[in-house]
Structure 1
Amino acid sequence: MSIIILDIDHLDKTFETPAGSIQALRDIRLQVKQGEFVTVIGPSGCGKSTLLKIIAGLDTAHQGKVLLENRPVERPSIDKGFIFQEHRLFPWLNVERNIAADLSLSDPQVRKKVDELIETVRLKGFEKAFPRELSGGMSQRVAIARALLRNPKVLLLDEPFGALDAFTRGHLQEVLLDIWRQNQTTMILVTHDIDEAVFLANRVVIMDPRPGTIRKIVGIDLPFPRKKSSVSFQEYRRLVLNEFERVDELELVDSSGI
Protein backbone atom coordinates (compact mmCIF):
# COMPACT_ATOMS: atom_id res chain seq x y z
CA MET A 1 0.00 0.00 0.00
CA SER A 2 1.47 3.37 -1.06
CA ILE A 3 1.97 5.97 1.67
CA ILE A 4 0.67 9.50 1.13
CA ILE A 5 3.61 11.78 1.93
CA LEU A 6 2.04 15.11 0.86
CA ASP A 7 -1.60 16.04 1.39
CA ILE A 8 -2.99 19.34 0.05
CA ASP A 9 -6.65 20.01 0.76
CA HIS A 10 -8.83 23.01 -0.17
CA LEU A 11 -5.80 25.24 -0.66
CA ASP A 12 -6.53 28.87 -1.54
CA LYS A 13 -4.00 31.65 -2.04
CA THR A 14 -4.81 35.35 -2.49
CA PHE A 15 -2.35 38.18 -3.07
CA GLU A 16 -3.18 41.69 -1.88
CA THR A 17 -2.04 44.37 -4.34
CA PRO A 18 -2.60 48.14 -4.63
CA ALA A 19 -5.15 47.33 -7.35
CA GLY A 20 -7.01 44.89 -5.10
CA SER A 21 -7.07 41.20 -4.25
CA ILE A 22 -5.86 38.63 -6.78
CA GLN A 23 -6.70 35.00 -6.18
CA ALA A 24 -3.72 32.93 -7.33
CA LEU A 25 -4.95 29.46 -6.29
CA ARG A 26 -8.43 28.14 -5.66
CA ASP A 27 -9.45 24.88 -3.99
CA ILE A 28 -6.28 22.93 -4.81
CA ARG A 29 -6.61 19.31 -3.71
CA LEU A 30 -3.70 16.96 -4.33
CA GLN A 31 -2.18 13.92 -2.67
CA VAL A 32 1.32 12.73 -3.57
CA LYS A 33 2.58 9.25 -2.73
CA GLN A 34 5.99 8.53 -1.27
CA GLY A 35 8.52 7.99 -4.05
CA GLU A 36 6.21 9.41 -6.74
CA PHE A 37 7.34 11.76 -9.52
CA VAL A 38 4.68 14.40 -10.22
CA THR A 39 4.93 17.15 -12.82
CA VAL A 40 2.77 20.29 -12.77
CA ILE A 41 2.05 22.00 -16.08
CA GLY A 42 0.05 25.01 -17.14
CA PRO A 43 0.27 28.48 -18.68
CA SER A 44 2.04 31.42 -17.07
CA GLY A 45 -0.01 32.88 -14.26
CA CYS A 46 -1.75 29.65 -13.26
CA GLY A 47 0.01 29.53 -9.88
CA LYS A 48 2.43 26.64 -10.48
CA SER A 49 5.38 28.32 -8.79
CA THR A 50 3.17 29.71 -6.02
CA LEU A 51 1.96 26.17 -5.28
CA LEU A 52 5.55 24.91 -5.11
CA LYS A 53 6.58 27.71 -2.73
CA ILE A 54 3.66 26.90 -0.44
CA ILE A 55 4.68 23.23 -0.35
CA ALA A 56 8.25 24.33 0.45
CA GLY A 57 7.06 26.51 3.34
CA LEU A 58 8.32 29.67 1.62
CA ASP A 59 4.77 31.09 1.59
CA THR A 60 2.53 30.39 4.57
CA ALA A 61 -0.09 33.12 4.05
CA HIS A 62 -2.76 30.87 2.59
CA GLN A 63 -5.95 29.07 3.46
CA GLY A 64 -6.40 25.31 3.50
CA LYS A 65 -4.31 22.34 4.56
CA VAL A 66 -0.78 21.43 3.45
CA LEU A 67 0.64 18.41 5.28
CA LEU A 68 4.00 16.69 4.80
CA GLU A 69 4.03 13.32 6.54
CA ASN A 70 0.87 14.41 8.39
CA ARG A 71 2.55 17.53 9.80
CA PRO A 72 1.54 21.06 8.75
CA VAL A 73 4.05 22.83 6.51
CA GLU A 74 4.81 26.04 8.40
CA ARG A 75 8.36 27.01 7.34
CA PRO A 76 11.23 25.98 5.07
CA SER A 77 13.22 22.98 6.32
CA ILE A 78 15.80 20.46 5.13
CA ASP A 79 13.11 17.84 4.52
CA LYS A 80 11.90 19.96 1.57
CA GLY A 81 14.60 20.50 -1.05
CA PHE A 82 14.00 23.32 -3.54
CA ILE A 83 15.65 23.78 -6.95
CA PHE A 84 15.12 27.12 -8.71
CA GLN A 85 15.42 27.85 -12.42
CA GLU A 86 18.70 29.64 -11.62
CA HIS A 87 21.23 27.38 -9.91
CA ARG A 88 22.06 29.89 -7.11
CA LEU A 89 25.50 28.46 -6.40
CA PHE A 90 28.04 30.27 -4.23
CA PRO A 91 30.53 31.72 -6.76
CA TRP A 92 33.42 31.62 -4.27
CA LEU A 93 33.04 27.86 -3.59
CA ASN A 94 34.03 24.98 -5.84
CA VAL A 95 31.70 22.12 -6.78
CA GLU A 96 32.28 19.89 -3.77
CA ARG A 97 32.07 22.79 -1.32
CA ASN A 98 28.91 24.12 -2.96
CA ILE A 99 27.34 20.70 -2.48
CA ALA A 100 28.45 20.51 1.17
CA ALA A 101 27.51 24.19 1.79
CA ASP A 102 27.32 24.61 5.59
CA LEU A 103 28.45 21.02 6.25
CA SER A 104 32.14 20.22 6.72
CA LEU A 105 33.93 18.09 4.16
CA SER A 106 36.30 17.02 6.97
CA ASP A 107 33.42 14.94 8.35
CA PRO A 108 33.95 11.46 6.85
CA GLN A 109 30.22 10.86 6.42
CA VAL A 110 29.72 14.19 4.62
CA ARG A 111 32.80 13.54 2.46
CA LYS A 112 31.50 10.10 1.47
CA LYS A 113 28.02 11.38 0.64
CA VAL A 114 29.36 14.33 -1.39
CA ASP A 115 31.60 11.99 -3.40
CA GLU A 116 28.67 9.66 -4.05
CA LEU A 117 26.47 12.53 -5.21
CA ILE A 118 29.17 13.86 -7.53
CA GLU A 119 29.16 10.43 -9.17
CA THR A 120 25.35 10.35 -9.25
CA VAL A 121 25.00 13.72 -11.01
CA ARG A 122 27.86 12.83 -13.40
CA LEU A 123 30.34 15.51 -12.30
CA LYS A 124 33.32 13.28 -11.51
CA GLY A 125 36.47 15.22 -12.37
CA PHE A 126 34.89 18.63 -11.71
CA GLU A 127 35.05 18.54 -7.90
CA LYS A 128 37.43 21.51 -7.72
CA ALA A 129 35.79 23.57 -10.49
CA PHE A 130 34.13 26.89 -9.64
CA PRO A 131 30.69 27.95 -10.93
CA ARG A 132 32.24 30.31 -13.50
CA GLU A 133 33.93 27.27 -15.05
CA LEU A 134 30.71 25.25 -15.37
CA SER A 135 27.98 25.19 -17.99
CA GLY A 136 24.39 25.95 -17.02
CA GLY A 137 23.50 22.26 -17.02
CA MET A 138 26.47 21.35 -14.83
CA SER A 139 25.57 24.11 -12.39
CA GLN A 140 22.03 22.75 -12.07
CA ARG A 141 23.45 19.30 -11.34
CA VAL A 142 25.46 20.82 -8.49
CA ALA A 143 22.28 22.46 -7.14
CA ILE A 144 20.42 19.14 -7.30
CA ALA A 145 23.26 17.34 -5.51
CA ARG A 146 23.30 20.02 -2.79
CA ALA A 147 19.59 19.52 -2.16
CA LEU A 148 19.89 15.72 -2.11
CA LEU A 149 22.73 15.81 0.43
CA ARG A 150 20.17 16.80 3.08
CA ASN A 151 18.03 13.71 2.30
CA PRO A 152 14.82 15.67 1.70
CA LYS A 153 11.47 13.95 2.01
CA VAL A 154 10.40 15.77 -1.15
CA LEU A 155 12.41 17.54 -3.85
CA LEU A 156 10.65 20.53 -5.42
CA LEU A 157 11.88 21.75 -8.81
CA ASP A 158 10.67 25.05 -10.25
CA GLU A 159 11.36 24.88 -14.02
CA PRO A 160 14.98 23.85 -13.34
CA PHE A 161 15.80 23.29 -17.03
CA GLY A 162 13.83 26.17 -18.52
CA ALA A 163 16.88 28.29 -19.42
CA LEU A 164 18.85 25.45 -21.01
CA ASP A 165 19.19 24.43 -24.65
CA ALA A 166 17.21 21.42 -25.88
CA PHE A 167 20.18 19.02 -25.89
CA THR A 168 21.28 19.91 -22.34
CA ARG A 169 17.67 19.84 -21.16
CA GLY A 170 17.17 16.33 -22.50
CA HIS A 171 20.40 15.14 -20.90
CA LEU A 172 19.44 16.55 -17.50
CA GLN A 173 16.01 14.95 -17.71
CA GLU A 174 17.81 11.60 -18.00
CA VAL A 175 20.10 12.50 -15.08
CA LEU A 176 17.12 13.48 -12.93
CA LEU A 177 15.36 10.20 -13.68
CA ASP A 178 18.51 8.28 -12.73
CA ILE A 179 18.61 10.15 -9.41
CA TRP A 180 14.92 9.51 -8.80
CA ARG A 181 15.26 5.79 -9.49
CA GLN A 182 18.38 5.45 -7.30
CA ASN A 183 17.14 7.47 -4.33
CA GLN A 184 13.36 7.00 -4.57
CA THR A 185 12.99 10.65 -3.54
CA THR A 186 9.51 12.08 -3.98
CA MET A 187 9.75 14.76 -6.67
CA ILE A 188 7.41 17.52 -7.83
CA LEU A 189 8.54 19.44 -10.91
CA VAL A 190 6.91 22.53 -12.42
CA THR A 191 7.30 22.98 -16.17
CA HIS A 192 5.85 24.65 -19.27
CA ASP A 193 7.05 21.79 -21.46
CA ILE A 194 4.50 19.09 -22.30
CA ASP A 195 7.15 16.61 -23.46
CA GLU A 196 9.11 17.10 -20.23
CA ALA A 197 5.99 16.66 -18.11
CA VAL A 198 5.06 13.36 -19.77
CA PHE A 199 8.64 12.08 -20.02
CA LEU A 200 9.37 12.41 -16.30
CA ALA A 201 6.15 11.84 -14.43
CA ASN A 202 4.06 9.12 -12.90
CA ARG A 203 1.28 11.73 -12.96
CA VAL A 204 0.86 15.06 -14.73
CA VAL A 205 -1.12 17.75 -12.92
CA ILE A 206 -2.68 20.13 -15.47
CA MET A 207 -3.58 23.60 -14.20
CA ASP A 208 -5.85 26.35 -15.48
CA PRO A 209 -5.16 30.05 -14.76
CA ARG A 210 -6.94 32.99 -13.11
CA PRO A 211 -7.36 31.67 -10.50
CA GLY A 212 -5.10 28.65 -10.58
CA THR A 213 -7.08 25.44 -10.36
CA ILE A 214 -6.35 21.80 -11.12
CA ARG A 215 -8.06 20.99 -14.41
CA LYS A 216 -7.13 17.32 -14.54
CA ILE A 217 -4.57 14.81 -13.29
CA VAL A 218 -3.31 12.39 -15.93
CA GLY A 219 -1.59 9.17 -14.89
CA ILE A 220 1.27 8.19 -17.22
CA ASP A 221 1.30 4.40 -17.42
CA LEU A 222 4.55 4.01 -19.36
CA PRO A 223 7.65 2.08 -18.28
CA PHE A 224 11.02 3.73 -17.86
CA PRO A 225 13.13 4.50 -19.82
CA ARG A 226 10.71 6.28 -22.15
CA LYS A 227 11.16 7.20 -25.79
CA LYS A 228 9.63 10.50 -26.84
CA SER A 229 9.28 9.21 -30.39
CA SER A 230 7.23 6.17 -29.41
CA VAL A 231 3.55 5.88 -30.34
CA SER A 232 2.49 5.35 -26.71
CA PHE A 233 4.40 8.46 -25.57
CA GLN A 234 2.79 10.58 -28.29
CA GLU A 235 -0.64 9.29 -27.29
CA TYR A 236 -0.14 10.51 -23.71
CA ARG A 237 1.29 13.74 -25.03
CA ARG A 238 -1.82 14.37 -27.11
CA LEU A 239 -4.02 13.48 -24.14
CA VAL A 240 -2.35 16.22 -22.07
CA LEU A 241 -2.42 18.64 -25.00
CA ASN A 242 -6.12 18.02 -25.61
CA GLU A 243 -6.96 19.07 -22.06
CA PHE A 244 -6.45 22.67 -23.09
CA GLU A 245 -9.35 24.22 -24.98
CA ARG A 246 -7.26 26.95 -26.63
CA VAL A 247 -3.76 25.57 -26.78
CA ASP A 248 -2.57 28.29 -29.13
CA GLU A 249 -3.42 30.90 -26.49
CA LEU A 250 -1.52 29.11 -23.74
CA GLU A 251 2.19 29.54 -23.15
CA LEU A 252 3.07 25.87 -23.39
CA VAL A 253 6.07 24.45 -25.18
CA ASP A 254 5.07 22.19 -28.07
CA SER A 255 8.56 20.92 -28.83
CA SER A 256 7.76 18.34 -31.50
CA GLY A 257 5.26 20.40 -33.50
CA ILE A 258 2.54 17.73 -33.23
Structure 2
Amino acid sequence: MGATLLEIGALNKTFETGKGPVRALHDVNLDIAEGEFVTVIGPSGCGKSTLLRIVAGLDTGYSGMVRLAGKEIAGPGIDKGFIFQEHRLFPWLTVEKNIASDLSLRDKEVRRKVDELIELVKLKGFEKAYPRELSGGMSQRVAIARALLRKPKILLLDEPFGALDAFTRAHMQEALLDIWRTNKTTMIFVTHDIDEAVFLGNRVVILKPRPGEISAIVPIGLPYPRKKATPSFQELRLKVLSRFEQAEDETFTDGAGI
Protein backbone atom coordinates (compact mmCIF):
# COMPACT_ATOMS: atom_id res chain seq x y z
CA MET A 1 0.00 0.00 0.00
CA GLY A 2 1.01 3.60 -0.53
CA ALA A 3 1.13 6.62 1.74
CA THR A 4 -1.85 7.71 3.81
CA LEU A 5 -4.56 9.07 1.52
CA LEU A 6 -7.55 9.62 3.83
CA GLU A 7 -7.24 10.91 7.39
CA ILE A 8 -10.24 10.95 9.73
CA GLY A 9 -9.68 12.27 13.24
CA ALA A 10 -12.08 12.77 16.17
CA LEU A 11 -15.04 12.87 13.75
CA ASN A 12 -18.41 13.61 15.33
CA LYS A 13 -21.72 14.18 13.57
CA THR A 14 -25.07 15.13 15.10
CA PHE A 15 -28.38 15.50 13.25
CA GLU A 16 -31.19 17.75 14.40
CA THR A 17 -34.58 16.00 14.35
CA GLY A 18 -38.08 16.78 15.53
CA LYS A 19 -37.29 14.82 18.68
CA GLY A 20 -34.07 16.69 19.33
CA PRO A 21 -30.43 16.11 18.43
CA VAL A 22 -29.32 12.62 17.40
CA ARG A 23 -25.68 11.61 17.47
CA ALA A 24 -24.80 9.66 14.32
CA LEU A 25 -21.01 9.37 14.65
CA HIS A 26 -18.80 9.63 17.72
CA ASP A 27 -15.03 10.08 17.83
CA VAL A 28 -14.24 8.19 14.62
CA ASN A 29 -10.50 7.90 13.93
CA LEU A 30 -9.31 6.15 10.79
CA ASP A 31 -6.43 6.41 8.31
CA ILE A 32 -6.65 4.73 4.90
CA ALA A 33 -3.64 4.19 2.66
CA GLU A 34 -3.49 4.92 -1.03
CA GLY A 35 -4.59 1.81 -2.96
CA GLU A 36 -6.24 0.18 0.05
CA PHE A 37 -9.61 -1.60 -0.04
CA VAL A 38 -11.42 -1.07 3.27
CA THR A 39 -14.82 -2.55 4.07
CA VAL A 40 -17.13 -1.14 6.76
CA ILE A 41 -19.80 -3.09 8.62
CA GLY A 42 -22.04 -2.34 11.57
CA PRO A 43 -25.63 -2.58 12.82
CA SER A 44 -28.36 -0.75 10.92
CA GLY A 45 -28.42 2.95 11.78
CA CYS A 46 -24.85 3.05 13.08
CA GLY A 47 -23.75 5.80 10.69
CA LYS A 48 -21.99 3.81 7.96
CA SER A 49 -23.65 5.77 5.14
CA THR A 50 -23.20 9.05 7.03
CA LEU A 51 -19.47 8.35 7.24
CA LEU A 52 -19.29 7.79 3.47
CA ARG A 53 -21.31 10.92 2.74
CA ILE A 54 -18.98 13.02 4.89
CA VAL A 55 -15.93 11.66 3.06
CA ALA A 56 -17.72 12.36 -0.23
CA GLY A 57 -18.32 15.96 0.84
CA LEU A 58 -22.10 15.47 0.70
CA ASP A 59 -22.71 15.92 4.44
CA THR A 60 -21.34 18.86 6.42
CA GLY A 61 -21.87 20.25 9.90
CA TYR A 62 -19.55 17.79 11.62
CA SER A 63 -16.70 18.33 14.03
CA GLY A 64 -13.27 16.79 13.68
CA MET A 65 -10.85 16.38 10.79
CA VAL A 66 -11.42 14.73 7.41
CA ARG A 67 -8.59 15.12 4.90
CA LEU A 68 -8.06 13.62 1.47
CA ALA A 69 -4.51 13.78 0.13
CA GLY A 70 -3.64 16.26 2.87
CA LYS A 71 -6.52 18.67 2.13
CA GLU A 72 -9.65 19.22 4.20
CA ILE A 73 -12.74 17.95 2.40
CA ALA A 74 -14.89 21.00 1.74
CA GLY A 75 -17.53 19.51 -0.56
CA PRO A 76 -18.14 17.14 -3.49
CA GLY A 77 -15.53 16.96 -6.22
CA ILE A 78 -14.18 14.83 -9.02
CA ASP A 79 -11.49 13.49 -6.68
CA LYS A 80 -14.21 11.43 -4.95
CA GLY A 81 -16.45 8.87 -6.68
CA PHE A 82 -19.67 7.62 -5.05
CA ILE A 83 -21.64 4.46 -5.88
CA PHE A 84 -25.13 4.10 -4.39
CA GLN A 85 -27.18 0.94 -3.85
CA GLU A 86 -29.27 1.97 -6.86
CA HIS A 87 -27.29 2.52 -10.06
CA ARG A 88 -28.91 5.93 -10.74
CA LEU A 89 -28.27 5.75 -14.48
CA PHE A 90 -30.02 8.14 -16.86
CA PRO A 91 -32.68 5.96 -18.56
CA TRP A 92 -32.61 8.02 -21.77
CA LEU A 93 -28.85 7.56 -22.29
CA THR A 94 -26.94 4.57 -23.65
CA VAL A 95 -24.20 2.79 -21.68
CA GLU A 96 -21.41 4.83 -23.26
CA LYS A 97 -23.25 8.12 -22.82
CA ASN A 98 -24.08 7.30 -19.19
CA ILE A 99 -20.39 6.70 -18.56
CA ALA A 100 -19.41 9.93 -20.32
CA SER A 101 -22.22 11.70 -18.42
CA ASP A 102 -21.83 15.46 -19.03
CA LEU A 103 -18.77 15.05 -21.27
CA SER A 104 -18.89 14.71 -25.04
CA LEU A 105 -17.97 11.44 -26.73
CA ARG A 106 -16.86 13.53 -29.69
CA ASP A 107 -13.79 14.46 -27.65
CA LYS A 108 -11.15 11.89 -28.63
CA GLU A 109 -9.68 11.66 -25.12
CA VAL A 110 -13.13 11.15 -23.56
CA ARG A 111 -13.92 8.54 -26.21
CA ARG A 112 -10.68 6.71 -25.44
CA LYS A 113 -11.28 6.72 -21.69
CA VAL A 114 -14.89 5.53 -22.07
CA ASP A 115 -13.78 2.69 -24.36
CA GLU A 116 -11.10 1.68 -21.83
CA LEU A 117 -13.64 1.65 -18.99
CA ILE A 118 -16.14 -0.38 -21.01
CA GLU A 119 -13.39 -2.96 -21.47
CA LEU A 120 -12.46 -2.76 -17.78
CA VAL A 121 -16.02 -3.44 -16.55
CA LYS A 122 -16.51 -6.11 -19.24
CA LEU A 123 -19.40 -4.46 -21.09
CA LYS A 124 -17.93 -4.61 -24.60
CA GLY A 125 -20.82 -5.01 -27.04
CA PHE A 126 -23.29 -3.15 -24.83
CA GLU A 127 -22.12 0.39 -25.61
CA LYS A 128 -25.41 1.31 -27.33
CA ALA A 129 -27.69 -0.47 -24.83
CA TYR A 130 -30.06 1.48 -22.57
CA PRO A 131 -30.42 0.84 -18.81
CA ARG A 132 -33.75 -0.95 -19.35
CA GLU A 133 -31.89 -3.51 -21.44
CA LEU A 134 -29.32 -4.29 -18.73
CA SER A 135 -29.35 -6.57 -15.71
CA GLY A 136 -28.86 -5.15 -12.22
CA GLY A 137 -25.22 -6.23 -12.14
CA MET A 138 -24.53 -4.71 -15.56
CA SER A 139 -26.14 -1.45 -14.51
CA GLN A 140 -23.89 -1.26 -11.45
CA ARG A 141 -20.86 -1.86 -13.69
CA VAL A 142 -21.91 1.17 -15.74
CA ALA A 143 -22.23 3.20 -12.53
CA ILE A 144 -18.73 2.11 -11.43
CA ALA A 145 -17.28 3.00 -14.84
CA ARG A 146 -18.94 6.42 -14.71
CA ALA A 147 -17.47 7.05 -11.26
CA LEU A 148 -13.99 6.05 -12.46
CA LEU A 149 -14.02 8.21 -15.60
CA ARG A 150 -12.46 11.23 -13.90
CA LYS A 151 -9.92 9.06 -12.05
CA PRO A 152 -11.02 9.85 -8.48
CA LYS A 153 -8.52 9.48 -5.67
CA ILE A 154 -11.06 7.42 -3.74
CA LEU A 155 -14.19 5.42 -4.62
CA LEU A 156 -16.95 5.22 -2.00
CA LEU A 157 -19.45 2.37 -2.35
CA ASP A 158 -22.61 2.33 -0.22
CA GLU A 159 -24.00 -1.24 -0.33
CA PRO A 160 -23.82 -1.28 -4.15
CA PHE A 161 -24.70 -4.98 -4.39
CA GLY A 162 -27.41 -5.06 -1.72
CA ALA A 163 -30.30 -5.32 -4.18
CA LEU A 164 -28.73 -8.07 -6.31
CA ASP A 165 -29.49 -11.79 -6.13
CA ALA A 166 -26.86 -14.03 -4.49
CA PHE A 167 -25.36 -15.32 -7.76
CA THR A 168 -25.07 -11.86 -9.33
CA ARG A 169 -23.72 -10.44 -6.08
CA ALA A 170 -20.92 -13.01 -5.97
CA HIS A 171 -20.10 -12.30 -9.61
CA MET A 172 -20.00 -8.55 -8.96
CA GLN A 173 -17.68 -9.02 -5.98
CA GLU A 174 -15.19 -10.76 -8.27
CA ALA A 175 -15.65 -8.08 -10.92
CA LEU A 176 -15.04 -5.26 -8.44
CA LEU A 177 -11.83 -6.88 -7.22
CA ASP A 178 -10.64 -7.16 -10.84
CA ILE A 179 -11.35 -3.44 -11.30
CA TRP A 180 -9.57 -2.56 -8.04
CA ARG A 181 -6.48 -4.59 -8.90
CA THR A 182 -6.34 -3.14 -12.41
CA ASN A 183 -7.18 0.49 -11.58
CA LYS A 184 -5.51 0.67 -8.14
CA THR A 185 -8.19 3.08 -6.89
CA THR A 186 -8.57 3.36 -3.12
CA MET A 187 -11.99 2.02 -2.10
CA ILE A 188 -14.25 2.18 0.96
CA PHE A 189 -17.10 -0.31 0.71
CA VAL A 190 -20.06 -0.29 3.14
CA THR A 191 -21.96 -3.57 3.52
CA HIS A 192 -24.21 -5.51 5.93
CA ASP A 193 -22.75 -8.80 4.67
CA ILE A 194 -19.85 -10.16 6.76
CA ASP A 195 -18.80 -12.65 4.06
CA GLU A 196 -18.67 -9.81 1.54
CA ALA A 197 -16.63 -7.63 3.91
CA VAL A 198 -14.03 -10.36 4.49
CA PHE A 199 -13.96 -11.41 0.82
CA LEU A 200 -13.25 -7.89 -0.46
CA GLY A 201 -11.33 -5.97 2.16
CA ASN A 202 -7.71 -5.55 3.19
CA ARG A 203 -9.22 -4.46 6.51
CA VAL A 204 -12.72 -4.68 7.98
CA VAL A 205 -13.84 -1.69 10.07
CA ILE A 206 -16.60 -2.57 12.56
CA LEU A 207 -18.81 0.19 13.93
CA LYS A 208 -20.75 0.12 17.21
CA PRO A 209 -24.49 0.87 17.26
CA ARG A 210 -25.46 4.53 17.08
CA PRO A 211 -23.70 6.75 17.60
CA GLY A 212 -21.27 5.06 15.23
CA GLU A 213 -17.87 4.60 16.77
CA ILE A 214 -15.16 2.20 15.66
CA SER A 215 -15.36 -0.94 17.79
CA ALA A 216 -12.64 -2.90 15.98
CA ILE A 217 -10.50 -2.99 12.86
CA VAL A 218 -9.70 -6.52 11.68
CA PRO A 219 -6.82 -6.96 9.17
CA ILE A 220 -7.58 -9.57 6.49
CA GLY A 221 -4.26 -11.12 5.60
CA LEU A 222 -5.59 -13.53 3.00
CA PRO A 223 -4.12 -13.27 -0.51
CA TYR A 224 -6.35 -12.65 -3.53
CA PRO A 225 -8.20 -14.39 -5.09
CA ARG A 226 -10.03 -15.62 -2.00
CA LYS A 227 -12.23 -18.68 -1.64
CA LYS A 228 -15.06 -18.47 0.88
CA ALA A 229 -15.05 -22.22 1.54
CA THR A 230 -11.43 -22.41 2.74
CA PRO A 231 -10.67 -22.92 6.47
CA SER A 232 -8.56 -19.71 6.59
CA PHE A 233 -11.45 -17.65 5.21
CA GLN A 234 -13.95 -19.20 7.62
CA GLU A 235 -11.60 -18.59 10.54
CA LEU A 236 -11.39 -14.89 9.68
CA ARG A 237 -15.12 -14.74 9.06
CA LEU A 238 -15.78 -16.10 12.54
CA LYS A 239 -13.34 -13.59 14.02
CA VAL A 240 -15.12 -10.69 12.31
CA LEU A 241 -18.53 -12.11 13.28
CA SER A 242 -17.44 -12.35 16.92
CA ARG A 243 -16.21 -8.75 16.93
CA PHE A 244 -19.40 -7.65 15.16
CA GLU A 245 -21.55 -9.34 17.83
CA GLN A 246 -19.49 -7.68 20.55
CA ALA A 247 -20.06 -4.33 18.87
CA GLU A 248 -23.82 -4.95 18.67
CA ASP A 249 -23.91 -5.45 22.44
CA GLU A 250 -22.44 -2.00 22.98
CA THR A 251 -25.84 -0.34 22.76
CA PHE A 252 -26.51 3.38 23.04
CA THR A 253 -29.81 5.18 22.53
CA ASP A 254 -30.60 8.88 22.43
CA GLY A 255 -33.50 9.10 19.98
CA ALA A 256 -34.42 8.01 16.50
CA GLY A 257 -31.80 6.26 14.34
CA ILE A 258 -30.09 7.88 11.43
Distance 1:164 1:105 in 2: 30
The answer to whether structure 1 residue 176 and structure 2 residue 176 are counterparts is yes
| Residues 230-254 of structure 1, C-alpha deviations (whole Å, 9 max, x = no match) | 110001100000113469989xxxx
Distance 1:119 1:93 in 2: 19
Q: Is the 8 A contact 1:241 1:247 kept in 2?
A: no
| Residues 58-108 of structure 1, C-alpha deviations (whole Å, 9 max, x = no match) | 001100000001100010000000000000000100000000001111111
Distance 1:217 1:83 in 2: 23
Identity %: 70
What RMSD over aligned residues (CA atoms) do the two structures have, in Å? 1.5
Distance 1:222 1:245 in 2: 22
- Residue in 2 that maps onto 1:253: none
- Using the size of structure 2 for normalisation, the TM-score is 0.94
Q: Is the 8 A contact 2:95 2:127 kept in 1?
A: yes
Distance 1:25 1:248 in 2: 15
- Residue in 2 that maps onto 1:13: 13
- Residue in 1 that maps onto 2:52: 52
Distance 2:184 2:91 in 1: 30
SS state at 1:125 partner: coil
| CA 145–34 in structure 1, closer or farther in 2 if over 3 Å, else same | same
- Residue in 2 that maps onto 1:72: 72
Distance 1:67 1:214 in 2: 18
The answer to whether structure 1 residue 229 and structure 2 residue 229 are counterparts is yes
Distance 1:245 1:132 in 2: 40
Unaligned runs of 5+ in 1: 251-258
Unaligned runs of 5+ in 2: 251-258
Residue correspondences, number: 250
Equivalent residue runs for 1:155-234 within 5 Å: 155-234=155-234
SS state at 1:244 partner: helix
Distance 1:139 1:246 in 2: 36
SS state at 1:97 partner: helix
Aligned-pair CA distance for 1:27: 0.1
